[in-house]
Structure 1
Amino acid sequence: MWFSGKIREKAMPFLGVAVVLLLSLASPASSCTEQERGALLGFLGGLMPGGNGGLKVSWVNGTDCCKWEGIVCSSDGTVTDVLLASKGLRGVISSSLGDLAGLKRLNLSHNWLEGSLLTELVFSRSIIVLDVSFNRLDGHLQELQSPNPALPLQVLNISSNLFTGHFPSTAWGAMKNLVALNASNNSFTGQMPSSICTNAPSFAMLDLSYNQFSGTISLGLGSRSMLKVLKVGHNSLSGALPVELFNATTLEQLSLPNNFLQGVLDGSHIAKLSNLTVLNLGSTGLSGKIPDSVGQLKRLEELYLDNNNMSGELPSALGNCSNLRYITIRNNSFIGDLSTVNFTMLDLRIADFSMNLFTGPIPESIYSCSNLVALRLAYNNFHGHFSPRIGNLRSLSFFSITNNSFKNITNALQMLKSCKNLTSLLIGINFKGETIPQDETIDGFENLQVLTIDDCSLVGKIPLWISKLAKLKMIDLSVNQLSGPIPSWIDELGFLFYLDISSNNLTGNIAVSLTKLPMLLSEENVAKLDPKFLELPVFWTPSRQYRMVSAFPRMLFLDNNNFTGTIPPEISQLKLLDGLNLSSNSLTGEIPQEICNLTNLQMLDLSNNQLTGAVPSALNDLHFLSTFDVSNNRLEGPVPTGGQFHTFSNSSYSGNPKLCGPMLNLDCTSAATNQTSTSRRHNLRFALIIGITSGGLVALALLACFLIARLAYYDHTENVVPLRSRQR
């Protein structure tokens, strides 16, 4: 009874509110004015036919515009909000919206609107929030001729458009109510506006990133007492970090990456920013050490110092940043043992220490970071064996130790199989000269999608345990000393679309099972690929990085082995293949005509084999082909013309003396004539040799007969003369 009574007590106020709401809904509401209706219809009229996002269905003249899609009115019928984000709108923004005297919030973001940003909206006497981000607006922003400090605008988002020119400062400096300004991802040039929001006491957020600003960072930003977010990365700013900037002690996010700054990170200055949660100074050109005072940033969650010229050992105080979740100091010159930092107290999720000069083993304390999702230690001087404690990293999905000096690959794989969530495992350029384990007990990698064990000089055969990696999409075993044939089970890897087994000692024919890889057969199979982003970008080449596994090209690298036999015509089944490299083997026979069916092919390398016959003319139908090489074979006849073939250099065909065509400056008709005359000369020379040889043999035979006859005569004389002497 007590419980039910309590329910009744709480229900009575709620029922009262509900009754009031029902009564208010039942009472007749005021409708918008004719002027407001006309202003909205004027906006609709400025949109392109078919680009109104279906607004014409509800935006009908003569009806109450307060009931139109995307329109919000106050209780007295005044239009206060026009919310039309992501409607697919195309056309221009009509100036008629400036006639909505009571408009407070205008959101036209994520559309295809063009033209300029109207001053009637930016300098409106009513609008508080204006968002036109992610459109195609262009031109210069205009200065306000007569600045009015009473303008109510608080939030302005013009990001991700096509604006150009200098950023006006006078107008924005006059806006006392401005709280947030986002002009990122445009093409603004010139100096950063120096007087921006100087008179706005509540100004808290400025994002000018991804533009073309130059010069130095505005000194006045340090005087903004409420500034919490400052982002001016990906510009062309230069000079040192201004000391004044560190007076903005309320800063929570300081992001200046990809500029041309100089100097060091001063410890006394950085300690002032005790409220920082994000510090991004990556790719800025900073040098020097990480100061010990970084340990005073107790609220710090993300630290980006990658791609700089920093050096020295990591400060042990870094272990005091207990909220640190993301750290990347990739591509610097840091030295020493990572064990100087106690990672036990950190809540790390992503850590990238790659491309430095760290030494020693993997620090034991990092195994306490049970929430660690991605750890990259690649391109350092780490060494030793893996600890059994690595199994504590139960959330680990991305792990890269490429190019270090680790040993005992069998032990490493046995330890790592405890990390059940691993999807990317990059362990190449380690374990030099060891034997690749064939042990079937190496299992547990049921979620693995990317596996690289390249350039380790490993010996042995491609192991059977790889066939159990049911989700494997990419495998790189290149630059080892693996032997034996391509395993017949390779097509059982149902998600595999990238295979690199180049530069080994593999033998046998090109396995037909390779031509049955499901992910290279049809788009229907590709749709099954997981579109998830990688936890860290994979830097496949110095200039190319990937954030999704599915974004990698579909490739087969079988070059620099000892494969023999012919290219199987079944290769034509791999409709989705982007690249095929069979170079530097001992393949024979002709280039199969079926290879011309690989219409997605961008790279084809068949060089340094013993292929014969013609280059199939239908290869000129491969419109995406950008790399082609058949050099150093025994091919003959005309080289295909048209299509992409006019872009390939002569070196693509060198070492095939019987090939001809315009790109080789060898006319095929004259080549054939020369070949025929050469053949006739060869035949005549052969006939002369035969004739002379035969004549010589006949002469030798006659001479032999003469000598034999003469010897017989002398022999007869010796026998006859004495007889005659006796007769006398």
Structure 2
Amino acid sequence: MESNGEFDRTQCNGSIPPSLGNCSKLRELGAGYNNLSGAIDGTHITNLGDLVTLDLGWNSFSGKIPASIGQLKKLEELHLAYNNMSGELPSALSNCTNLITIDLKSNHFSGKLTKVNFSNLPNLRILDLWLNNFTGEVPESIYSCSNLIALRLSSNNLHGQLSSRIGNLKYLSFLSLGKNNFTNITNALQILKSSKNLTTLLMGHNFMGEILSHDETIDGFGNLQFLDIQGCNFSGRIPVWISRATNLQMLVLCDNRLTGPIPGWITSLSNLFYMDVSSNNLTGEIPSTLMEMPMLKSTDNATHLDSTVFELPVYNGPALQYRVFTSFPAVLNLSNNSFTGVIPAQIGQLKVLAVLDFSFNKLSGQIPQSVCDLTNLQVLDLSSNNLTGTIPAALNRLHYLSAFNISNNDLEGPIPPGGQFDTFQNSSFNENPKLCGSMLTHKCDSASIPPLSTKTRHKKGLFVIAFGVFFGGIAVLLLLGRFIVLIRINGITTRDRRENNGDVEATSFYSSSEQTLVVMRMPQGKTEENKLKFADILKATNNFDKENIIGCGGYGLVYKAELPDGSKLAIKKLNGDMCLMEREFSAEVDALSMAQHDNLVPLWGYCIQGNSRFLVYSYMENGSLDDWLHNRYDDASSFLDWPTRLKIAKGASLGLSYIHDVCKPQIVHRDIKSSNILLDKEFKAYVADFGLARLILPDRTHVTTELVGTMGYIPPEYGQAWVATLRGDMYSFGVVLLELLTGRRPVTVLSTSKELVPWVLQMRSEGKQTEVLDPTLRGRGYEEQMLKVLETACKCVDNNQFRRPAISDVVSSLASVEADP
């Protein structure tokens, strides 16, 4: 008897075969994420009377939804998202009375929604019609779906006012109405305040030109966590009723015409970590109370943020989507207003901030030294103000800073050398005529350059002595010459590269080294060498632009680089201050590059450019296991099935086995986690970041806990002595296995929830081990296999390190589990 037809991500193409209509007992048809095309033939669907799930999303289907879909009386899940389908919704859809989810987003559907009688769908919980061409008003029948928890109608051509009947949706938690033509914001707020379970309210780009209501009677948003009313051209002030949304975590009011100051009550929103009020007409000074926002001051506070999962993913542009609130970066964006006065010195308290944008205001005074304390900062934009004084030299210690702009001010003195400042373009410093630097037309004289600290002079002295001893007079020539970047490649097939790769615009601190050669060695057996300029790497990463960042961690940022011939690389930019001296660094990378295995991310080489160190790896098309398990897509077709998860577990264990048992000397990974297991386009697993601890100076391992592990993966014995061991790696790998089995993160953000390992061990001790398995994997015939892997995982996370199995035992245990049910 046939019950499931799963063809997700099998690269199928063509149309749905007519023979599928013969599978009359089929309950689930999953063919998402393929290349299927053509119209959906209604005659084939007619015979699938037992179908419960129909998932054809992420294909290239065209045409209308056939009216015969109404004959699927048992249908509960309908997923047709991300196709090219069009036309009106058939009224027969009302006959699918068991529907729980309707997901039609990102198609070309049109017409009025009133053709469907939603009151016939009492079980409907999720209705997602984002990015279509629907017109008319929201049908009243939708408000009869009393079990609805998520309703997304954004990016259509709907109009009218919200109906008071929306109050019937007692369980509604997620409401997205953005980019339509709705009117009467005051009426909408008065109605929505009765939706007590509402956590996400996205209404931007509606209510054009209205006054944002200050009605004192508006309240009831006590559970609201995300409010977005951007781009409405609202006038008025920031209303006080927002202060009553005491659980608010994200507030987006940008692109309006709001006036007045930032209200003092803003700090009463104790959970707020994302605030964007850019592009308004706000005035006054930046209030010092803003520097007291609890969630931006301490990561300890941030751990108490609600880890609520969005009922539907929230999209930020075409490429980014978020499943949980805490995936968003911490943001304070006050740009494009009329703020005056100085940047408060207390800004350095906001240590959680990732994005700080005060650009296009009327701020004066100096850049506070305390900005250098914002060690998590990725974006700093202070451009187009009236700032004076010098650039704080310690800004070059902000190792995650990937976007920086201070142009159009009145700053003076030298641009700090080293660190991320080696990657910023000239445009970051434009229109500051008193600034000087090696890349600017205005060079610094000796009087402009601040003296080196004693510590720095000491380090420089040791460096010169070392080179004097080992290289004598040759070292002087090497220091005066350009650094030669060596990339050692064994066993990689590379295409011929053009000799002339073009120049990168001379706006980078690297511009003086554009002609530095990266020597690409051909595969074994060939002696010819290809030549690549470092400028090509700059061009491939757009001068290490933040848009090309694909990962970050305790060691530094990772950038995607696409070379002119179409090949892709991953460039890891290490923090140079933490790394070994050049000679030792080169020797260690040479040793690590010899570690070659089918399940290790190939390390093709390295580059030393000034104070920066770069590692060059293969690029993995499918990102990390963490992406796929915890923050990927929104529907059933996107989860990893059990055979794929088992394949990943086996592959990762083989990679770990190689560095533990084959490499001489053995390599202790120190940071095994799901984000360090990368996946190629075939979902083959590769262990990443092995051996990086070797490249770090011994006294720098205190910089971040990620250098000795990541929370949730750190074995208990590491709390007694920070000495990484092979047994410690086994504990971390056991946690990864538990992630694969349960679909859960090792550590939850809610402090009241148990961490993954103790929860699994407790459930297992109570004989409830089946209940820990990922609900999306249950009932598919793989439970016996999963329980076998669970036993192996539990042995790996044994509190007694001496009872944990060696990696060779784990490899054997996983190999004994067959992929077929």
TM-score normalised by structure 1 residue count: 0.61
Query: Contact (CA 8 Å) 2:348, 2:374: kept in 1 or not?
Result: yes
Deviation at 1:234, TM superposition (A): 2.4
Q: Which amino acid aligns with 1:399?
A: L
**Match of residue 564 from structure 1:** 340
**In structure 1, distance between residues paired with 2:406 and 2:206:** 34
SS across alignment from 1:245? helix
Query: Contact (CA 8 Å) 1:660, 1:671: kept in 2 or not?
Result: no
The residue correspondences of 1:483-632 to structure 2 (distance < 5 A) are 483-632=259-408
**Match of residue 227 from structure 1:** 2
Does residue 365 (structure 1) correspond to residue 144 (structure 2)? The answer is no
SS across alignment from 1:481? coil
Query: Contact (CA 8 Å) 2:414, 2:448: kept in 1 or not?
Result: no
**Match of residue 156 from structure 1:** none
SS across alignment from 1:263? strand
Do the aligned partners of residues 273 and 671 (structure 1) sit closer, same or farther apart at CA in structure 2, a change above 3 Å counting? farther
SS across alignment from 2:321? strand
**Match of residue 704 from structure 1:** none
The one of 183, 193, 198 equivalent to 1:407 is: 183
Deviation at 1:671, TM superposition (A): 9.7
The one of 201, 212, 221 equivalent to 1:436 is: 212
Q: Which amino acid aligns with 1:581?
A: D
Deviation at 1:246, TM superposition (A): 2.6
Deviation at 1:528, TM superposition (A): 1.4
Does residue 645 (structure 1) correspond to residue 421 (structure 2)? The answer is yes
Does residue 316 (structure 1) correspond to residue 91 (structure 2)? The answer is yes
The one of 67, 74, 97 equivalent to 1:292 is: 67
**In structure 2, distance between residues paired with 1:233 and 1:437:** 48
SS across alignment from 1:669? coil
**Match of residue 240 from structure 1:** 15
- The percent of aligned pairs where both chains have the same amino acid is 56
**In structure 1, distance between residues paired with 2:5 and 2:362:** 61
SS across alignment from 1:307? coil
**Match of residue 341 from structure 1:** 116
Does residue 260 (structure 1) correspond to residue 260 (structure 2)? The answer is no
The one of 392, 409, 425 equivalent to 1:633 is: 409
**In structure 2, distance between residues paired with 1:555 and 1:580:** 6
Hey, which bits of structure 1, 4+ residues long, moved more than 2 A? 234-237, 662-667, 670-673
**In structure 1, distance between residues paired with 2:13 and 2:245:** 49
Which deviates further from its counterpart, 497-506 or 230-239? Answer: 230-239
**In structure 1, distance between residues paired with 2:186 and 2:370:** 42
The residue correspondences of 1:175-214 to structure 2 (distance < 5 A) are none
Does residue 481 (structure 1) correspond to residue 229 (structure 2)? The answer is no
Query: Contact (CA 8 Å) 2:12, 2:35: kept in 1 or not?
Result: yes
**In structure 1, distance between residues paired with 2:430 and 2:50:** 65
Do the aligned partners of residues 364 and 671 (structure 1) sit closer, same or farther apart at CA in structure 2, a change above 3 Å counting? farther
**Match of residue 425 from structure 1:** 201
Could you give the per-residue CA deviations for residues 347-393 of structure 1, whole angstroms, max 9, x where no partner exists? 11001011111111111001000100000000011111111111000
**Match of residue 37 from structure 1:** none
Q: Which has the larger radius of gyration?
A: 1
Query: RMSD across aligned C-alpha pairs, in angstroms?
Result: 1.3
Q: How many residues align?
A: 448
**In structure 1, distance between residues paired with 2:224 and 2:8:** 35
Do the aligned partners of residues 245 and 469 (structure 1) sit closer, same or farther apart at CA in structure 2, a change above 3 Å counting? same
Does residue 388 (structure 1) correspond to residue 203 (structure 2)? The answer is no
**Match of residue 76 from structure 2:** 301
Could you give the per-residue CA deviations for residues 304-346 of structure 1, whole angstroms, max 9, x where no partner exists? 0011100000000001101100011001111111011001111
Q: Which amino acid aligns with 1:433?
A: G
Deviation at 1:662, TM superposition (A): 2.2
Query: Contact (CA 8 Å) 2:20, 2:44: kept in 1 or not?
Result: no
**In structure 2, distance between residues paired with 1:313 and 1:657:** 60
Query: Contact (CA 8 Å) 2:9, 2:34: kept in 1 or not?
Result: yes
Deviation at 1:262, TM superposition (A): 1.1
Does residue 280 (structure 1) correspond to residue 52 (structure 2)? The answer is no
SS across alignment from 2:69? helix
Query: Contact (CA 8 Å) 1:488, 1:513: kept in 2 or not?
Result: yes
**In structure 1, distance between residues paired with 2:301 and 2:221:** 22
**In structure 2, distance between residues paired with 1:583 and 1:672:** 26
**Match of residue 223 from structure 2:** 447
SS across alignment from 1:441? coil
Deviation at 1:670, TM superposition (A): 8.0
Deviation at 1:432, TM superposition (A): 0.5
**Match of residue 706 from structure 1:** none
SS across alignment from 2:12? strand
The residue correspondences of 1:36-115 to structure 2 (distance < 5 A) are none
**In structure 1, distance between residues paired with 2:209 and 2:193:** 22
The residue correspondences of 1:25-40 to structure 2 (distance < 5 A) are none
**In structure 1, distance between residues paired with 2:98 and 2:138:** 22
Deviation at 1:665, TM superposition (A): 5.4
**In structure 1, distance between residues paired with 2:447 and 2:236:** 48
Query: Contact (CA 8 Å) 1:646, 1:663: kept in 2 or not?
Result: no
Deviation at 1:594, TM superposition (A): 0.5
Q: Which amino acid aligns with 1:378?
A: S
SS across alignment from 1:662? coil
**In structure 2, distance between residues paired with 1:524 and 1:509:** 29
**In structure 1, distance between residues paired with 2:10 and 2:379:** 35
Structure 2 unpaired stretches of 5+: 450-821
Do the aligned partners of residues 671 and 361 (structure 1) sit closer, same or farther apart at CA in structure 2, a change above 3 Å counting? farther
TM-score normalised by structure 2 residue count: 0.54
**In structure 1, distance between residues paired with 2:438 and 2:80:** 54
Deviation at 1:237, TM superposition (A): 2.2
Q: Which amino acid aligns with 2:229?
A: I
**In structure 2, distance between residues paired with 1:628 and 1:398:** 35
Deviation at 1:227, TM superposition (A): 2.1
**In structure 2, distance between residues paired with 1:335 and 1:509:** 48
Do the aligned partners of residues 620 and 318 (structure 1) sit closer, same or farther apart at CA in structure 2, a change above 3 Å counting? same
SS across alignment from 1:664? coil
**In structure 2, distance between residues paired with 1:516 and 1:243:** 64
**In structure 2, distance between residues paired with 1:272 and 1:638:** 75
